[in-house]
Amino acid sequence: MTSLFSAESTADEVLEGVDLSGQRFLVTGVSAGLGVETTRTLLAHGASVVGTARDLAKAERALKSVREAVLPGASLEVVEVDLASLSSVRHGADALLSRGDMFDVVIANAGVMACPLGTTEDGFETQFGTNHLGHFVFVNRIVPLIKSPGRIVLLSSAGHRRSDVDLVDPGFANTEYEAFLAYGRSKTANVLYGVALDDRLREKMIRATALHPGGISTELGRHLTPETIAAMRASAAPTSGSKPSQPQRKNVPQGAATTVWAACVASPEDIGAQFLEDCSVAEINDSGSSGGVKSYALDLAHADELWTLSEQMVKETFTFGR
């Protein structure tokens, strides 16, 4: 599909003239960076937002100026959800379900990147457990709260090009741990989860998509080392013999643009089960050149395999739409 926007577009530019009054959004990870900017932009156009954060005090500090600018008729609320703890994820989801308030769009924005080797509260490798499994349980549990038609927007990364998921050894029990490799696995899992979700929910007119927001300097990069940065650049650069190109850097307003484009502007039929970048649908690119989406990340059979493994790991089954 053709988009009027580009890598340079900001979230405000994407939503110029768009009235979101009466619409409700859920955004995970609203204590910093893209989560704050996404929330600010949605609220500025009349939407109501429920945000999630592991640290409520930190989120409230980050959202102080945003809250003061909420338009009449809109609202902002933050609920506690720690994606690295399935008990916290389930408690947060159950609290929302008990209230029964519906959402037009769910945006899975939260995540961690290139962490040292570690595990979540439930014993999962930190990045796979937080970026994928935490959202897998949280979003699946609140599917009954998503309106029809509705959308689910999952933030992935160009880092998915670094690695496919490893369905045999997701926790690096028998694989040497490398931080950006683990990040790549988790980001591919985000894309595959979107493909599987879209397949299960499209008959209910709920479409799911995943995206790369761009290379942005936020708190997400707090664990980056010079070695990790070098691995990221090597992954993004062409390997066909041409001069390597560095990934384009974006500021935070530009980084939130593809998120709000997917959530509010793009046609759901065009973006369902797709991977987006720079406010457009990415093309499959299995070469060594930069950009695009790896075909393994859009394979439905592969997505179903990950879904089955994820259910086994979290010890919970989700059968909606099947």
Q: Catalytic amino acids? A: 177
Q: Are 212 and 282 in contact (CB under 8 A)?
A: yes
Short-list 189, 156, 102, 183, CA closest to 276: 156
CB proximity list for 296: less than 8 A, separation 6 or greater: 164, 188, 302
**Under a CB-based contact definition with an 8 Å cutoff, are residues 304 and 310 in contact?**
no
**Cα 59–Cα 30–Cα 101 angle in degrees, nearest 5:** 105
Q: What φ, ψ does residue 315 adopt, rounded to 5°?
A: 60, 45
Distance CA 66, CA 81 (A): 20
| Cβ pair 81, 89 in contact under 8 A | yes
The C-alpha atoms of residue 46 and residue 44 are separated, in whole angstroms, by: 6
CB distance 223 to 179 below 8 Å: yes
Q: Do residues 210 and 282 make contact, with C-beta atoms less than 8 angstroms apart?
A: no
| Tokens 């926790």 sit on residue | 171
Instruction: Please give the helix or strand (H or E) that residue 318 lies within, else none.
Output: none
Residue carrying the six token digits 């998921």: 165
- Tell me the C-alpha distance between 30 and 6, whole Å: 24
3-state SS class at 34: helix
Determine the residue type at 262: A
Provide the 10 A C-beta neighbour count for residue 19: 10
